[in-house]
Structure 1
């Protein structure tokens, strides 16, 4: 992917994130909480997998 397209997508994503947090703070907070819960669940699953390998 050309560098120009990557830059445009990155700046567009940042602008959308700022807009989303400014005008829909409750929805933005809920989205970030959901992402955090998913990351914790994935880490827990990986830990359970590695523990299962070691026992």
Structure 2
């Protein structure tokens, strides 16, 4: 069941990229920005915790 769901997800992602590459790029950039901001926030927290800032 897990394998089928994985293949369906992969097929949907390929379909979404082929049908709307510009929107897929915007979504990927947004997702990357969210992850990057999360890491920056974690580093800022630990810098403050260690008294570096």
- TM-score, with structure 1 as normaliser: 0.87
Gaps of 5+ in 1: none
Q: Matched residues in 1 for 2:4 and 2:42: separation?
A: 35
Q: How many residues align?
A: 51
**1:46 — aligned with what?**
42
Q: Matched residues in 2 for 1:32 and 1:21: separation?
A: 10
Q: Please give the per-residue CA displacement for 1:11-35, whole angstroms capped at 9, x wherever unaligned.
A: 1110001000001101100000000
**1:25 — aligned with what?**
21
2:41 paired with 1:7: no
Larger % of helix: which?
Answer: 1
Q: Matched residues in 2 for 1:36 and 1:25: separation?
A: 16
